[in-house]
Structure 1
Amino acid sequence: MTDDEIIEACRKLARKRQAPPPAPPEAVAEAERVIGFAFPTLLRRLYTEVSNGGFGPADGVLSVDVGQWHEHIAEAYEYGPDPTGGVPAGVVPLYDWGCTMWSMIDFRDPDGAMWSSADGDCRPQGVTLAQWLLAAMDGELRFAWPNGEPPENEWHRPETAGDASSGRASAGN
């Protein structure tokens, strides 16, 4: 699926959820200033062409600025999901699974490599933002435990509503 097709699928989902309108470019620029890295290309397009948060799995990803959809991405980055300091600079919280579990995106990578963080353990997931979103739309996204083992076989899976066809690679362990 191309970036344009992913954007269109996310746009349909955002409309269905009544997500906020797209973020102004100035809000993205301010978030980049706070974070210290440029947004990965697809993520920038999603925020400025689709919605200021609310796209993606379950209730959606964080917004770009205050007063929109949940907490915002720059604030989550500044205060960090990991008080131990184990999250590398430029790896930014994107989706809150609850219970100190996060899907994060690497701003140092233009394709937006996805990471997971839980209880101070942070590791790459081995998928890009595009693959992660496709898994969410297909209902196949689950939390990728950094150590590979969920406690007591618990797989956190968000409720999703998909527009994409099935058969995509899972973005979890």
Structure 2
Amino acid sequence: MPALLRRLYLEVANGGFGPDGVLSLTDTGKWYSEEESLLRCVREIKSDPEFLYLLHTPPLMTLGCAIWWHVDFRTPEARMWGWDPNALCERHRFFEERFTLAQWLENWLEGNRTFPHPPPVVDCPDCLN
């Protein structure tokens, strides 16, 4: 887990912070999302071979309509990723964002609520329909 996210869970709160309430790390009895906890999400990802690619970028927070923010555990700066099944084709619904967890949180503290923005895809016939 990236150091900033770990410190937030240990020193700030076990979920509920951020623009729409970051998932709790463990089940607290309070749900800040459609999911009980980050650990439960990771267990579900591990049990479904179709979603194993999400194992190192677990979901962090939902915006509703199945749109999620994910955080990349492979990067020390915690790159943010977006998931939007309502946009683009199945291959392009999960995409890297242009900012880190720290930048995402700074943006929220400044009063902004950001949504994932899929990159433009020009050579995919499934996305162009």
Fold-level similarity (TM above 0.5): yes
Unpaired runs of at least 5, structure 1? 1-38, 150-173
> How far, CA to CA, are the matches of 1:107 and 1:143 in structure 2?
20
Percent same amino acid at aligned positions?
A: 39
User: Do structure 1's residue 75 and structure 2's residue 36 form an aligned pair?
Assistant: no
Match of 2:51, SS state, is: coil
AA of the residue aligned to 1:118 = D
Counting only pairs closer than 5 Å after superposition, residues 1-173 of structure 1 correspond to structure 2 as: 39-58=1-20, 60-70=21-31, 71-80=36-45, 85=51, 87-119=53-85, 120=90, 121-147=93-119
Check 1:69–1:40 CA distance in 2 against 1; reply closer, same or farther (3 A cut): farther
Give the structure 2 partner of residue 18 of structure 1. none
How far did residue 98 of structure 1 move?
1.0
How far did residue 66 of structure 1 move?
0.9
CA-based RMSD of the aligned residues comes to 2.3
Unpaired runs of at least 5, structure 2? 122-129
> How far, CA to CA, are the matches of 1:147 and 1:92 in structure 2?
20
TM-score (normalised: structure 2): 0.74
TM-score (normalised: structure 1): 0.56
Instruction: Report Cα offsets for 1:78-113 as digits up to 9, x if no partner.
Output: 324x99538443001001111110000000111111
Instruction: Report Cα offsets for 1:12-61 as digits up to 9, x if no partner.
Output: xxxxxxxxxxxxxxxxxxxxxxxxxxx10000000000100011113x10
The answer as to whether partners of 1:90 and 1:108 remain within 8 angstroms in 2 is: yes
How far did residue 63 of structure 1 move?
0.3
The answer as to whether partners of 2:42 and 2:55 remain within 8 angstroms in 1 is: no
Check 1:44–1:115 CA distance in 2 against 1; reply closer, same or farther (3 A cut): same
> How far, CA to CA, are the matches of 1:148 and 1:54 in structure 2?
32
> How far, CA to CA, are the matches of 1:74 and 1:109 in structure 2?
19
Matched length: 109
Give the structure 1 partner of residue 124 of structure 2. none
Match of 2:58, SS state, is: strand
Match of 1:79, SS state, is: helix
Check 1:79–1:66 CA distance in 2 against 1; reply closer, same or farther (3 A cut): same
